[in-house]
Amino acid sequence: MTHSYRQPGVVLTDHRFTVPLDHDDPSGETIELYAREVVAAEKAGRDLPWLVYLQGGPGFGANRFIGKQAWLGRALEDYRVLLLDQRGTGHSTPANRQTLPLRGGPAEQAGYLARFRADSIVRDCEAIRPQVTGGAPWTVLGQSFGGFCTLTYLSFAPEGLDTAIITGGLPSLDGHADDVYRAAYPRMERKVTAHYERYPQDVERARRIADHLLTHEVTLPNGYRLTVEAFQSLGILLGSGDGTHRLHHLLEDAFVRTPAGPALSDAFQEQVQHLLSFASHPLYALVHEACYAQGGRPTAWAAERVRSEFPQFDAAKALAGDEPLLFTGETIHPWTFDCDPALRPLRETAELLAARTDWPPLYDPARLAANEVPAAAAVYHDDLYVDTAHSLATARAVKGLRTWVTNEFEHDGVRAGGPRVLDRLLALARDRL
């Protein structure tokens, strides 16, 4: 049963679909997917082509837009849009500390979560596409991890696609997670250096907070243990267009005077717990490194292992000298599961996923080299989250893929740039530029 309702300028319809947990066992267990159809109010009765949106992450449900926000207004000029909550996210069958124990112990949970990568998401899309479009191919817009999924789509089910649009999401086709993070840490350092050049007063503020965390045990109101490494991970903010300013405002109000001496303010702690908690998107932590897993090798906590190759990120060493504290971001570590109460019950499950070696391939280089689907991608110069060199190498490997390389936006360009980014990419894919 579907239900339609209105927001300013649009008509929305809720959809629910049943798909196999394991598409290789279609008669086995099923899960539910939720998606929200959006159409411009003035076109509600028209027969329009479809665009399916694949959100970044992994682990985030599709955007909850109000009206025609961000890129959606441009999309609605041409399409009906399906905002899909990928498996395990949003209103789809959830996968979190509360629900995963229904699977059994950590081994059963890890086996279940192994089916929550791009390959399964693409097969979900192909399972529901006939119900949505009547069998016609649709356009896919993949943001970040959604772009990874789009490359998987082009690899294994290109017949389902009319056009492929990718924003900030061209991954290495054959790189191991180690390669991803070996490229990431220098990029993180550049972003932090640029932040301190803009806000030099933040050098001392960050050092002071880090020193406090090294000498005090701090537990945030939601039970999150705020260690210095967890504090450093707030550098994830630096991947968005306004992130450097948000980080600055966060740091400037960190301390208050109390009868017992300086303490981290309630306001600071409340903001930090909101930024660091995985309660609303645990899959991001659980299968993040698995998104890069191929070729029979375990990920084995790649971000943690590779970090040791970059001693400048060691907070204690930085504070022992006069070096600025370096922030990190877009990395998951074993301690992430110790700090966050939403993840602690899943630590053993995460260990099993990190040790897993039987990951199937996510991309087919030969098929991509013969691609016939019109495709365009925005590559953000020095993107914090996706390595530019990896993206450009992949772009060269996909026949017909047209790229727009820009330093006008950070990783969130498709949101921050409004309709302009999608408009340019559609023009590229349609060979109008």
Residues in the chain: 433
What pLDDT is attached to residue 1?
60
Residues 17 and 72 in one domain: yes
Compute the distance between CA of residue 232 and CA of residue 393 in angstroms, rounded to an integer: 30
Type of residue numbered 227: T
H helix intervals, 157-200? 177-198
Last residue of a domain, one of 315, 339, 355: 355
CB atoms within 10 A of CB 6: 11
Q: How many domains does the chain divide into? A: 2
Residues 162 and 202 in one domain: no
Residues 126 and 244 in one domain: no
C-alpha 372 chain-centroid distance: 27
What tokens does 75 get?
A: 């999309």
Compute the distance between CA of residue 433 and CA of residue 431 in angstroms, rounded to an integer: 6
Q: Which domain holds residue 257?
A: 177-355
Active centre residues (catalytic): 144, 358, 411
Strand partners, 81: 38, 51
Evaluate whether 338 touches 347 at the Cβ level (below 8 Å): yes
Compute the distance between CA of residue 275 and CA of residue 270 in angstroms, rounded to an integer: 9
Tell the residue number behind the tokens 């968005």, with chain if given.
Answer: 240
Largest CA distance in the chain: 69
> What is the pTM for the complete model shown?
0.97
Strand partners, 380: 406
Residues 45 and 156 in one domain: yes
Residues 194 and 241 in one domain: yes
List of residues 6+ apart from 107 with CB closer than 8 A = 352
Q: Using DSSP bridges, classify how beta strands 375-380 and 3-7 pair: parallel, antiparallel or unpaired.
A: unpaired
Q: Using DSSP bridges, classify how beta strands 30-40 and 10-20 pair: parallel, antiparallel or unpaired.
A: antiparallel
Last residue of a domain, one of 326, 355, 384: 355
Residues 330 and 200 in one domain: yes
Compute the distance between CA of residue 72 and CA of residue 67 in angstroms, rounded to an integer: 8
List of residues 6+ apart from 259 with CB closer than 8 A = none
Tell the residue number behind the tokens 């060979």, with chain if given.
Answer: 431
Residues 153 and 253 in one domain: no
Evaluate whether 303 touches 181 at the Cβ level (below 8 Å): yes
Residues 112 and 247 in one domain: no
The CATH number that applies at residue 30 is 3.40.50.1820
Residues 417 and 287 in one domain: no
Phi, psi of 152 (to 5 degrees): -65, -40
Residues 185 and 272 in one domain: yes
Q: What is the residue-level pLDDT of the chain in tens, covering all 433 positions?
A: 678 999 999 999 999 999 999 999 999 999 999 999 999 999 999 999 999 999 999 999 999 999 999 999 999 999 999 999 999 999 999 999 999 999 999 999 999 999 999 999 999 999 999 999 999 999 999 999 999 999 999 999 999 999 999 999 999 999 999 999 999 999 999 999 999 999 999 999 999 999 999 999 999 999 999 999 999 999 999 999 999 999 999 999 899 999 999 999 999 999 999 999 999 999 999 999 999 999 899 999 999 999 999 999 999 999 999 999 999 988 999 999 999 999 999 999 999 999 999 999 999 999 999 999 999 999 999 999 999 999 999 999 999 999 999 999 999 999 999 899 999 999 999 999 8
Using alpha carbons only, give the angle 320, 333, 205 rounded to the nearest 5 degrees. 35
Evaluate whether 379 touches 395 at the Cβ level (below 8 Å): yes
Angle between helices 243-252 and 266-276 in degrees, nearest 10: 150
Residues 238 and 329 in one domain: yes
Evaluate whether 361 touches 388 at the Cβ level (below 8 Å): no
